[in-house]
Structure 1
Amino acid sequence: MKHLILIAFLILTSCKGETKTEQEVAIDPSVQEMWESFTQSNVEFKEEEQPESWFFHDNEEDANRLAELVLKGKKQAGSGLYSWYAEANADLPSVGTKHIITDFDGTARAIIQIKKVDTIPFNEISEAYAALDMGTTVEPLQKWKKAHWDFFASTMKESEQEPTEDMLVVCEYFETVWPKN
């Protein structure tokens, strides 16, 4: 289970910064409150287990900015390396899975649901996908490539690997299902 939490964090993060330790990441009461509010309004999910909660990125400024983009419906995708799943012997994300997105401090901001998962070589990422992941239409592909190359390079360095143009990226498409805009 710890591997899945780590993978979820890594997959939907990008770029630079400092990470919180496990001790710093306590589940905020707002997470359960959001899930209860969601299931009261969507009774068909009442019996589902509360999804995992986490924030995008690995620093406060970017985590809070990306949570806001999710709320506004601008960020609708997340990216991670296929090799992370292979190393952890973990399944790829599943369509229909929900996650509770928080800000850096753990306050629940939104519930997302995975709609589609693709595995694409880094050098074949489209501008349309980059716009969904970055939450912007201003040079999204250039921004996506720089941010993700830098982040992937830094994480791969820990295992003495280097990024390549054809490394596989797991691309998760999602929609914000709560709160409704």
Structure 2
Amino acid sequence: MSFTPIPDADPRAARARAGRRDVRQDAECAAFWDGFTASLAGGDPRRTAWPDAFGFGGEGPLADELAALVLAGRKRATASLPVEYTALGEALPVAGDLSIVLDGAGHPVAIIERTSVQLVAFEAVDASFAAREGEGDGSLAAWRQAHAWYFGQVFREWGGRLQDDTPVLCQCFQVVWPPTVADARPVAVARAFEGQAISPAEAIAAYLRAKDGNRPYLLDAAFAPDVQLRMVVRTDAISFPPASAGREALAETLVRRFNQEYENVHSVCLGAPPPPDAVAFGCRWLVAMSARQDGAVRVGCGRYDWAFAPADGRVAALTIRIDAMESLPPDTLQTVMAWAAALPSPWCPERVAVDALPALAPLRQVAQALQRADA
């Protein structure tokens, strides 16, 4: 389903009602964040990150109750609707994102790091996730009752209604600050920054997060320093240099310059991830995005061919083939993004992506490109 904000909605006022804070403008949150970053090693990429800040459930008694569950170690997941971000002009959260948790009075109490983010239909949220959220008696029935009420409040503000197939952002997280309540940090990218091996699937996922989220630092975890890039472009709709050598050159081409031209980027790899011992792997990919200059919506597909360093799993060579890149009018953005944001990420069954393609004429070219024998 699509979500249409009410015409006179003020995102700044909505952020305040939702218990959100701008960390840069809030001295208490900024000091709390500074305490965390001061505890990190000099090379830790989180030192240069910048979090959002919010209260679970907004403000007041509910935010106090849920913050207490986080501090007690009982709550390690949260569920939200995509419109809670898109209506405020914010990107959907992804694994690795950091946030400051506020209590009911807006005071910072913890910093969390998302370990996984999945879009799941409301009716498909399972008992294990409900238990991880840790609210009420931890049962799935209690989860559905509480979230039907909460999501109803969200829809009353932004338009729409809750249905069984409404996509829900199921986010799991760990607490990284303060030390008295922090969990261990098992995120694979952290191991890579510490010089440990990373699996091929983790390297690919880190690359997609780097590209889609404009996070070039993540390429340090995913790619070898002397990585080689080859581009094969079979369309005139987009252009890239035919080759690049070295991690910094790839970061400039695939992340920095790319994000200067495009926003609202959603990429997935089609099919199953590579096995842990893979030294070479090929998969098709699909992307949806919009051009910053004119707002045109782009949907494209192609193929990745990866070569991994046996010693540590980082990408040693990558060939990116672009088979199709279709352009659609700006007024199709909501339709295309609703489809793209609902796809499983980073690994999506091809049939799931193709069957759900919006009924827009240019997208037939994308579907046909995916069905070609040499894809």
Which TM-score band applies after superposition, normalised by the shorter structure? Answer: 0.7 to 0.9
Partner of residue 75, structure 1: 75
* Deviation for aligned residue 1:168: 0.9
SS in 2 for 1:94: coil
Q: Which has the higher contact order (CA 8 A, sep 6+)?
A: 1
Listed as ranges, the gaps of 5+ residues in structure 1 are 10-17
Counterpart residue type for residue 163 of structure 1: L
**Alpha-carbon distance in 2 for matches of 1:109, 1:21:** 14
2:24–2:30 CA contact under 8 A, matched in 1? no
Partner of residue 155, structure 1: 154
**Alpha-carbon distance in 2 for matches of 1:4, 1:116:** 28
Change (3 A) 1:30 1:165: same
Partner of residue 61, structure 2: 61
* Deviation for aligned residue 1:64: 0.8
**Alpha-carbon distance in 1 for matches of 2:35, 2:175:** 15
Q: How does 1:130-141 map to 2 (within 5 A)?
A: 130-135=130-135, 138-141=137-140
In the TM superposition, what whole-angstrom CA distance separates every residue of 1:7-39 from its partner, at most 9, and x where no partner exists?
Answer: xx6xxxxxxxx936889x996533222212211
Partner of residue 143, structure 2: 144
**Alpha-carbon distance in 2 for matches of 1:88, 1:32:** 21
1:127–1:141 CA contact under 8 A, matched in 2? yes
Which of 35, 40, 43 is the aligned partner of 1:42? 40
SS in 2 for 1:69: helix
User: Quick check: 1:166 aligned with 2:156?
Assistant: no
**Alpha-carbon distance in 1 for matches of 2:89, 2:29:** 28
2:56–2:63 CA contact under 8 A, matched in 1? yes
Moved more, 76-85 or 63-72: 76-85
Counterpart residue type for residue 165 of structure 1: D
Task: Return the index of the structure with the highest Cα Rg.
Answer: 2
1:73–1:175 CA contact under 8 A, matched in 2? no
Partner of residue 92, structure 1: 92
Counterpart residue type for residue 68 of structure 2: E
Change (3 A) 1:45 1:38: farther
In the TM superposition, what whole-angstrom CA distance separates every residue of 1:93-122 from its partner, at most 9, and x where no partner exists?
Answer: 111110011112221100000100111111
SS in 2 for 1:42: coil
1:39–1:45 CA contact under 8 A, matched in 2? no
1:27–1:106 CA contact under 8 A, matched in 2? no
Change (3 A) 1:40 1:133: same
1:30–1:108 CA contact under 8 A, matched in 2? yes
**Alpha-carbon distance in 2 for matches of 1:108, 1:56:** 12
Q: Which has the higher helix share?
A: 1
TM-score for both structures, normalised by structure 1: 0.76
**Alpha-carbon distance in 1 for matches of 2:93, 2:171:** 8
Q: Which has the higher strand share?
A: 2
Over aligned residue pairs, what C-alpha RMSD do you find?
A: 3.3
**Alpha-carbon distance in 1 for matches of 2:115, 2:65:** 22
Change (3 A) 1:92 1:45: same
**Alpha-carbon distance in 2 for matches of 1:93, 1:151:** 19
Partner of residue 116, structure 2: 116
1:112–1:174 CA contact under 8 A, matched in 2? yes
Moved more, 138-147 or 102-111: 138-147
**Alpha-carbon distance in 2 for matches of 1:85, 1:34:** 24
In the TM superposition, what whole-angstrom CA distance separates every residue of 1:82-102 from its partner, at most 9, and x where no partner exists?
Answer: 355566675421111100111
Change (3 A) 1:57 1:149: same
Counterpart residue type for residue 113 of structure 1: E
Partner of residue 15, structure 1: none
* Deviation for aligned residue 1:145: 0.4
**Alpha-carbon distance in 2 for matches of 1:5, 1:95:** 27
* Deviation for aligned residue 1:67: 0.9
Partner of residue 175, structure 2: 176
TM-score for both structures, normalised by structure 2: 0.39
Aligned residues: 168
Counterpart residue type for residue 149 of structure 1: A
**Alpha-carbon distance in 2 for matches of 1:121, 1:135:** 20
Moved more, 85-94 or 32-41: 85-94
